[in-house]
Amino acid sequence: MIETDASDYAIATILSITLSNSELHPVAFLSRTLTGAELNYDTHDKELLAIFEAFKLWRHYLKGAANPINIVTDHKNLEYFSTTKILTRQQV
């Protein structure tokens, strides 16, 4: 599972595994401040950036995952991102 969050100035993600007793165990953490251009991103794109950075950093863990990877975010609009027909250049 990947949990993400973004604020006006930073992004953060947590990579966790689910144990046999259904408890989550954190494996890795990522947080960083946003760069100059990223500070101008919409909230939607900042949340998406956090997900992108998590997959980029932890791809070696995620690539061979036996189970689907769940992404948890507090930005409701990202639920429908995969069905969006028109993406901005930045999102592509």
Q: What is the domain-level CATH number for residue 33?
A: 3.10.20.370
C-alpha count within 13 angstroms, C-beta hemisphere, residue 51: 18
- Domain containing 51 equals 2-83
On the question of pLDDT at 86 being above 90, the answer is no
On the question of pLDDT at 2 being above 90, the answer is yes
User: Percent of the chain having pLDDT more than 90?
Assistant: 53
Total domains, the chain: 1
**pTM attached to this predicted model:** 0.78
Q: DSSP letter at 53?
A: H
